[in-house]
Every structure is written in structure tokens, then in C-alpha cells.
Chains A and B, each alone.
Chain A
């Protein structure tokens, strides 16, 4: 049953989110942490970190979540249900690209979604911040990481590795 829930949740989330790995986060956090309690907030943050330091798209964090929820089968099924909606939709779309591109319905719908996602993500950041920014060292790490990633072109992978080293010494 857990596996079925895992698969349908990931399938729906991947079918609905447009614009990249981060857009999935509010929904993943709500379904996996708040609703089903398959992960804690800390584990969710760890999953994001792993999605970030591994090569390739962030989505591989779903393999980590799947493994955490129910082992290798979970990891495998999590990846299949994350990629399946993409393959179906893109496969259909390649044929109807020009009709779709100019569709007012599709464009206006996605315009609403994109703006809403900014607000959703902001809300999730607050929830996660309450979990992980708990003392002076963690707040400092959080602020530095924001500054470096928002205002320089340094790859986030290095920031996360650096924060791990800092954590080993100061946390």
C-alpha cells in the first residue's frame, strides 16, 4: 500500500509541476512529511542536498526518498513514477508542438501555476528553516549559502559540500 501511495503521489506531482526540480518541493514536502510522515523535515532537507550534489537532475532525490520509504524497490518505483508522466506528455507533445505552443489555455494556466509556485516555495522554506536554522552556526551557514548562491555564479554543489565541512566543525 505504501508503494502504491508513493507511486501515485510522485506520478501526480510530476505531471503537475512545470519549471524544474525545485517546483516539486512544496508538494513533496506536504505529501511525504506532513501527510504521510514517511520522512522528517531533516530527512527531507538531506534528500534535497543529495539531489543537489549528485550529477543530473534534482529528481534523483526521489530515488533517495523511495529508498528511505521502502528500500530498493521503493527507489526503483519512485524513479519510474517520476519519469513516466514526463515521457508520456513529451512524447505526445512533440507531435503537436506548434498547436500547444500557441494554445492560450495552456499558456494562461501555466502562467498562474508559475506565480503560485513562488509563494508555495516561500512557505516551505519557512517550514524547513524552522527545522534547520536553530542556532548561531546554522543561521550563519544558511545566510552565507543564500548570499553565495543568489549573488555569485558558484555551483550550489560546492556550497553544500562546504556547509557539510563547516557542520562537522561547528554544529
Chain B
């Protein structure tokens, strides 16, 4: 694989970051089409490996997949450039919206709009919990993990970061012993 110019990496990830509404899956299909099929910068296997790495590392999977591809193409510079390109449009828009939001916070119409939006976000999150639960809670042990975390946060108000770290340690103890990981 010859070196691909950084500018090209930036532009392609800018395109990917700009035209992928609705999150991870639309973004992945765009990455696959642009980088594997059209440009052949990556083989299908490298693409799949990058997606896997994205999913098994902390942080948003799609960002990590992009970082991984950038890294494969151009080492650490590629990783930085890919991140920058991917985030550019979204971040710019988010800041513009933030400016607008802070300045018109007291506007009555905006308030009712955001009231509706807030309710929809709660519905959206419920459906995320539902989908995650269907996928992840597969036996009584995972159910117990999940229920324990719920109680720890909802009733005992324990620290969420602490709960995550404990879940990680407990996971190591329980799943490793039974060889089920």
C-alpha cells in the first residue's frame, strides 16, 4: 500500500463525517463504499478488522474505526487527520447551534420546541435501552449485572464511573473463571 496524501485522507473523512446522518450504521456503509470499493485504500478484511477494533475499544466505535483506518493509512498523522475530518462538520454545526441556543434560551417558541424534543429524546433513549437489553442480556448473569448497576445508580446514587470500573473487575472475576468470555 503506497502512502496516500494526508489531504486526501482529510477530504474523504470530511465527506464521511458530513453525509452520515443517524449514526453508526449509515456511516459504516459510507466508509465501506468510499474506501474499500471506490478507492481501494483498504481490503475488505482490513475494513472488517478496523470495524472490530472500533467496537472493542473505548469511545465511540465509529470514531475509533476512523482512527484505526487513518492509522493504517498514514500512522499517527493519518489517525489525527481522519479524526479531524470526521468531526469537523458535526462539531462546527454543534457550536453554531450552541451559540444560537445560548442566545435565544428565553424565547418561548424555542422553549416549546425543545420541550417536544426533550420528550422525544427520552423515547429515543428508551428504545436504545430496549435494543441494548435484547442484545446484551442473554442469561441471568448479564441480567444481574445490569440490574445491580441500575440499583446502584438509581437507588444508592453511587458514582457511575465507579460502577463501570466495578463491573469491569467483577466481569473479569466471574467470566474468566468460567471461561465464558
**Interface set of A (CB-CB < 8 Å, partner B):** 12-22, 25-27, 29-31, 42, 45-46, 48-52, 54-61, 63-64, 67-68, 72, 75, 79, 82-83, 85-87, 89-91, 93-94, 97, 100-101, 104-126, 128-129, 131-133, 137-139, 141-150, 155-157, 159-160, 162-168, 170-171
Q: Verify B128–A59 contact, CB threshold 8 A.
A: no
- Interface digits, B163-179 against A, CB 8 Å rule (1 contact, 0 not)? 11101111110111001
B residues within 8 A CB of A105? 172, 176
B residues within 8 A CB of A114? 136, 142
Interface residues in B123-160 (C-beta closer than 8 Å to A): 123-133, 136-137, 141-143, 145-154, 159-160
15 A-B pairs with CB atoms under 8 Å apart are: A18-B55, A56-B17, A75-B95, A86-B60, A110-B171, A112-B172, A112-B174, A117-B164, A119-B148, A123-B154, A132-B115, A138-B119, A141-B120, A144-B123, A146-B124
Closest B-chain residue to A100, C-beta based?
B56
Closest A-chain residue to B89, C-beta based?
A55
Closest B-chain residue to A94, C-beta based?
B71
Given the complex of chains A and B, what is the CA–CA distance between A65 and B59 in angstroms? 17
The 4 residue pairs across chains A and B that have the minimum distance between CB atoms? A167-B116, A112-B171, A145-B123, A163-B120
Interface residues contributed by chain B, number (CB under 8 Å): 101
Q: Verify B127–A146 contact, CB threshold 8 A.
A: yes
Given the complex of chains A and B, what is the CA–CA distance between A94 and B82 in angstroms? 15
Task: Say yes or no: is B1 at the interface (Cβ < 8 Å to chain A).
Answer: no
Interface of A is mostly: helix
Least distance between B98 CB and chain A CB atoms (Å): 4
Q: Verify A138–B175 contact, CB threshold 8 A.
A: no
Given the complex of chains A and B, what is the CA–CA distance between A148 and B119 in angstroms? 13
